[in-house]
Structure 1
Amino acid sequence: MKIEIWSDIVCPFCYIGKRKFEKALQNFGSDKELDIIYKSFQLMPDIQTDPSLSIDDFLAREKGMSLEQARELNRQVSQQAATLGLDYQLDKAVVANTFQAHRLLQYALSQNLQQQIKERLLQAYFSEGKNIDDRDTLVQLSEEIGLKETEKVLAGDQFTAEVKMDLLEARQLGIKGVPFFVFDRKYAISGAQEPSVFQDTISQAFEEWKSEAFQ
């Protein structure tokens, strides 16, 4: 059964949602029968990569709030992430456009390494302060998980069409926020819901999928 997850690498709730979804999978006995695919989504497609700009300053500017309010929001989301074992170091995070990283995710999908590079990208952005719009950084992260030819892929325009197709499909489905989980194109969950919500939906969708498969 296919599970499609629209998410963006710089979305703090996407990493949190990923962990909650994974907790639900731990209690699901037929995970080998699940085909989990990460789909491309850009929260801010027009953003310009700027390593000199802090995430607090960027958030304050984009949301029209004070710097102190932005800091408090980032502190709160970091605390929420910590309850799931995630170490958010948002004071190090680099403001970056995610299009190239999504191309890498599409390439990794073609090489059956998407799960590994998705986790590595999220860790690099949220915990390590790496610039995920930097080609050398993307090549290095790829090499760490055994993904070859990344430099060659990113030098051209390979997998650009796949990213754009995902972005278009998200608009067609009316997806305006991420993470957004779609189960067998029948059920959907928006946001970083609790593991029990994911578990119930996975079980229901899977039972229906299995019964239809054997009809």
Structure 2
Amino acid sequence: MKIEIWSDIMCPFCYIGKRRLEAALEEFPHKNKVEVEWKSFLLNPDMKTDPVMNIAQYLAETKGMSVEEAREAGNHVAEMAKEEGLDYDFDKVVVANPKVAHRLLQFAKLSGKGDEMKERLFYAYFTEGANIDDEESLIGLAKEVGLDTEKAKEALSSVDFEMAVKHDVYESQQLGVRGVPFFVMDQKYGVSGAQPKETFTQALESAWKSYEQSVKDGLAFSPEEEGKSCGPDSEC
């Protein structure tokens, strides 16, 4: 059974959602038969990379809030992340356009290392304060997950991988995805936002039942109460 996840690297709820899904999968009896694929989503395609600017300043300027309000929002999200074993350091976060990093993710998927690459990018961005729009930093991360560095370097400027990113974004638009993370299980069951583990468990059970019965009658989303997510107009 396949789980497709639309997310952006700069989305803090996407990393939290990843951990909650993993917790549900850990207890799922059929976890070894589940494939996870990370799909690209761009919260702000035109974002200007500025390593000097603090993320709180960026949010204040783009979301119409004060710097103090942005910091308070960051602290709240950091506390939420801590409950999932994640260590967010928003004081280190670099304002960077993630487009190139998404190309690297698309490249990693070809080697079956999409999940490892996504995890490493999240950690680099939210905990280490890496510039995910910097070629040298990205190549270093690619090397850490075992990717060929020369091919990874080529992928960063590849039109093919740029088109792969655009295709994922197009798919999200066709599905009506307004915020991320957004999970689609067995091409039928949708889960929006960083839902609690229990919600993922229920969705996994329903999707698996459908998968076993080989019901191939198209997407059939089961709306859930929306969890925390990032969207173009959100404050994350």
Structure 1 residue 73 corresponds to structure 2 residue 73: yes
Among 164, 167, 170, the alignment partner of 2:169 is 167
- Local SS of the residue matching 1:91: coil
Compute the RMSD of aligned alpha carbons.
Answer: 1.0
Cα distance, 1:160 vs structure 2 = 1.0
Alignment of 1:143-162 (within 5 A): 143-148=143-148, 149-162=151-164
Q: Structure 1 stretches of 5 or more lacking a match?
A: none
State the partner residue of 2:230.
Answer: none
Contact 2:4 2:39 in 1 (8 A): yes
1:35-57 CA deviation, whole Å, 9 max, x = no partner?
Answer: 11000001111101110110000
| Fraction of identical pairs, as percent | 48
State the partner residue of 1:18.
Answer: 18
Among 198, 211, 214, the alignment partner of 2:213 is 211
Contact 2:101 2:156 in 1 (8 A): no
State the partner residue of 2:125.
Answer: 125
Paired with 1:205 and 1:151, the residues of 2 have a C-alpha distance of 38
Structure 1 residue 90 corresponds to structure 2 residue 93: no
Paired with 1:183 and 1:203, the residues of 2 have a C-alpha distance of 10
Cα distance, 1:201 vs structure 2 = 0.4
Q: TM-score, normalised by structure 2?
A: 0.88
State the partner residue of 1:33.
Answer: 33
State the partner residue of 1:180.
Answer: 182
Cα distance, 1:29 vs structure 2 = 1.4
Paired with 1:153 and 1:46, the residues of 2 have a C-alpha distance of 20
Alignment of 1:53-64 (within 5 A): 53-64=53-64
Paired with 2:158 and 2:68, the residues of 1 have a C-alpha distance of 42
Aligned residue type for 2:166: K
Q: Structure 2 stretches of 5 or more lacking a match?
A: 216-236
- Local SS of the residue matching 1:16: helix
Paired with 1:198 and 1:92, the residues of 2 have a C-alpha distance of 31
Cα distance, 1:68 vs structure 2 = 0.8
Cα distance, 1:154 vs structure 2 = 1.6
- Local SS of the residue matching 1:177: coil
Paired with 2:210 and 2:120, the residues of 1 have a C-alpha distance of 33
Aligned residue type for 1:171: Q
Cα distance, 1:208 vs structure 2 = 1.3
- Label 1:186 to 1:156 Cα distance change in 2 as closer, same or farther (>3 A): closer
- Local SS of the residue matching 1:212: coil
State the partner residue of 1:198.
Answer: 200
Paired with 1:122 and 1:153, the residues of 2 have a C-alpha distance of 19
- Local SS of the residue matching 1:52: strand
Aligned residue type for 2:164: E
Cα distance, 1:155 vs structure 2 = 3.7
1:144-183 CA deviation, whole Å, 9 max, x = no partner?
Answer: 1101121122243231111000011111111010000001
Contact 2:49 2:96 in 1 (8 A): yes
Paired with 1:51 and 1:128, the residues of 2 have a C-alpha distance of 14
Paired with 1:156 and 1:136, the residues of 2 have a C-alpha distance of 16
State the partner residue of 2:47.
Answer: 47
State the partner residue of 2:108.
Answer: 108
